[in-house]
Every structure is written in structure tokens, then in C-alpha cells.
Chain A
Amino acid sequence: MTPVAPVAHAPTRLVRGLILGSIGLVFAIPIVAMVEFTLRSGLAGGHDFSRWTALFQGGFAGPYRAVLVALGNSVGLAVGTVVLVLLLLVPTLLLVHLRFPRLRRLMEFVCILPISIPAIVLVVGLAPVYSVLGRLLGSGVWTLAFAYGITVLPFAYRAIQANLDGVDVRTLSEAARTLGAGWVSVLLRVLIPNLRRGILAGAFISVAVVLGEFTIASLLNRNTLQTSLVVVSKADPYTVVILSLLALTFAFLLLLVIGRLGTVRTGSRRRPTTGGQP
């Protein structure tokens, strides 16, 4: 690939360092403070790992059992939300892209809209819907996946649409059809493999959003990781910070994976080309 020429007014090394450093501090200070808080040993001062070891040795017994159940709920919800959103969004996006390109603006508007609606407003609208849902499907925590499907829509949409814009979906699907592939084969063997990066990024970012959501779960009285952390925090402020740190680490790792997906190129594992004929 051609190396990109340096931009004329690019910031100097020092300026870049300063910008990165100050942004890093904004993120690091609260996290370091949280870690420090969990390591405090009593009022006498000094630091140790007793709270961390107590939590893990205790095997989440007693009051933390609820957190474990809530974690299970949240992970289940995250998976459910991702499946729901991908099953609806991917075929719809492809259909709009291939068959109804004029609807693209509308689609974009509808998908981005939830980001501009505060969760509290969303809940006000969702509450009566959920009272009906509760009668029809019960009040299981999994029903939150419908609401979360709406909140993660903007993120999933952007991730998949960006990938879609970079792939000549029309030509690829037409090529596959002339080679004898029906629509299901086109979707499974050609389109999804080429949209893999966008789909995975959309899925991971959706998981991160679901694991961080509090307002909707709390106001609709569902037990998720976030709501249970608040409950625990009232009894034990230290443990809840440890759990928050763990959740943060998980989300960070998830974003790291998304970043990696963006750089991995198809086939780069194979040997590179060495010149060639026309």
C-alpha cells in the first residue's frame, strides 16, 4: 500500500503527547482512585488485597449471590439483544441496500433516532408497553432484550453500515447468483462472510452497551448487573467498586477485540504476493 504522506499541519510529537497524556489522565485518575479505594485496609490507613481475596475466596456467597445471578441475567440479555438486533438489522440493511436504496435515508434516521432519546424518556414510553408484554410473556428479565434492541440500534447500525459501504454488495451478490447461488447461499456464503467485521463489531459494541445500561433496567424493575451493583453498594461500598472495576475491564477487553477486528484483513495470514503478470 502507498504510505500516507504526512499532513502539513500535523501536531508535533510534544503536542500529541500532551493531548494523549491529558485525555489519559481524565480516564486514569478515577480508575486509579477506584483501585486505591478497594485496597484500603480499615480506618488506620495502609493498603492490602484482603477485600479482593475475600470476594474471590468467598465464591460470591451470601450477599453477593444476587450479583452473580444478575451477572448471568446481564450476559444472557446481552446475547439475546445481539441475536435479536442482528437477525432484524442485517437482512433489513441488505434488503434496503440492494432493493430499496431510496429508503436508506429513512432507515438511517430510524436507526440513529434512539441515541437522541434519553433513557428516562424511553422508559416512560416503554412502561405501558411492558405492562402489556408482562401479561403476554411474563416479566422475565429476558424481555428487556426488546428495549435494549432499541438502545443498541444506533451502534449496531453504524458498525454494519460502515462495513456495507466498503463492500460492493451488489456486484458480489450478482456474481454469486450468476454462479448458481440462490438468495440463502448468497447471504450465508458471500454477504455475511464479507460483512463479518461489521457484524462482529456491532455485536461487541452492543454487548458493551447492554452491560453498561442501568436506567431502563432499574425503572422497569429488572435485576441486571448494574441494578444489583447499586443494591450491593448500599451494604458494601468496597466490593461494589471491585465488581465495577471487573465490569470495566471486561468492556475494555471487548473494545480491544473490536479494534483488532478493524485491522485484520482477509487473507493476510496467507503468503503475500510477489510481483505478477497482468
Chain B
Amino acid sequence: MITFILRRLLMLVPVLVGLTVIMFAIARLLPGDPVGLAAGPNATAAERAALAAEFGLDRPVWEQYGTYVAGLVQGDFATSLLTRRPVAADLAAYLPATLELVLAAMLLAVGLGIPLGLLTALWRNRWPDYLSQVLAIGAISMPRFFLGLLLQLCFAMWLNWLPLAGRLPIIVFPPDPITGFITIDAALTGQWDVLRTALLHLLMPALALSLSPLATIMRMMRSSTIEVMGQDYVMTARALGLPRHLILTRTIARNAVSATLTVIGLYFGWLLGGTVLVETVFDWPGLGLYATKAILSQDMMPVIGVALVIGLLFVFANLLIDLAYGLINPKVRYS
């Protein structure tokens, strides 16, 4: 199992190289005028040239790439053209917020999607099943940003139950970072009121982000449950008089979950991408918002940094899923 993990981690290297090449190609080979945007409309030609020289933008692309990769090996993600801050520091600051949001959404999606899928499969071809199938397609069709807006309108603006946006109000001091997740840090340091506030802030963005993967996981779980219910071993379990709840949990659910798991890995990456829109709606200080601001000003170093981090997370998530898959399904044990 250790060799399996090591081999998978080794595969990260070509992924990283590939990602940097692709992102560099987009950043440098496509038309665009980042220097002009950063220097401002009134900058003279000399000022622009100085700025370009400072960031090495006047040198050939392959040389820029070499410099970037050399820095990357030492943990240096280069510097933002616009803010002149090191990208690595920004990534470290914004990553936990995104992870907290994505993991919360994932928890909702998996925690509700799997039991709902199981239930609808048991109700197959009766009206609750039909209704939930329509609702699921509806949930998948709902634009996250519109959903976020509706949630804000309802629960923050009209009903005043939940905070409108952000991770914490400005007047609340965040707990000292231990994990970087405000909710977990607050719980660890025993600041229960901060935990409560942070959870309230997390609720709407996590809901908006999780609805579509929840529906997808539910549909996946439903169809794999239906498939499992037709398997011979379920008939055998019934023929041997196993109680219903055991057949449901140990025989049906376990096998159906193992079929659903692989998809969840793919959806993690999808969630990481989808977080861009939700972070914009809820002003959530994460990677998505950071990348959006950078993209709008054609400041490419942060964008490359975000793409790298998200690519890495995606590969890690799939590694974790594969490990979990091996735990549930004994047939595939890291060969």
C-alpha cells in the first residue's frame, strides 16, 4: 500500500510539469496586454518597458518558464504583477477558505446524496421516486450563482436569518490558525460563539455549492442501488432469511456505495472549479475569488498558481478516493 501511494505521488511530477506548460502557454502565447493593464492607462512607454523588465516579461517565453520552474522547486510561485505580493503567500492565505467551503459542500452532498439515492431506489417507480428524479434534474440545472443569489435574497435580506456574505464579520477576530479552517480552529480553541458565527456564514455558500453534486450523487447512488438489487447475492441473502436491515446495509448499500465512490472523486475537482462562482456571489475570500480578480486584470502568475494548487488537490482527492475504494471493495487492493 505504501508503494501504491508513493507511485501515485510520483505521478504528480509530470502532472505539475504539464500544468505549468499549459498555463504558461495560455498566459504568454495568447494575445493580451498584462503590462499595459498593470501599469495603468497613463503610463509612458518607458514605464511599461521598466515594468516588463522587472518581471522578466521582455525575455523569451522558454526563459521565463525556466525561471518560473526554478522558483517553483523552492516553493516560490513568482510575484503578482498587480499587487506585487508573492503569489505563494496569497495562495496560503486563500486556500484554507476554499478547502473549508468545498469540504463542507462535499460533506453535504455525500452525506445527503447517498442515503437519498438509496431511498429513492427502494421507492423505485412510485411517485416519491419520480418526484425526486425531476427535482434532481432541476437541481443539476440550477445555476449556482442564481441559487446563491436567491438564498441571499431570502435568508439574508428578507428574513434576516443568515449573514449575507463573507467568512466572518469584520468585528469578529478569527481564531489563531491551526488548520486554517475557521470552524475547526474555533472548535479546537473552544470559542463557541465564533464557531456558531462561522457556521452560519458557511451555510449558504456550502448549500449553493453542494446542490448540484448532491443531486448527481443521489442519481448515481440510485442507479447503482437498483443494479445491485438485481444481483444474485441479494437473492441469496433473501433466500437465507437475512433480516431486511442487514440486506439493506451490508449487502445493498455497501456494494452500491463502492460503485458510486469513483464518481465522487471526479466531482471533487468539479466542485473546486464551481467554487469560483459561489465565492464571487458570497464574497468568500478563497482561491476562486482570488483567481477571478487576477484573471480580470490579466495578472497571470496568480492564475497559474491557482491552477497548480487545484490540479494538485484534484490528484490528491482521487488518491484518497482510490484508497477509500480499496477499503470498501476488497477486490481492488492497490495492485
Q: Do A and B interact?
A: no
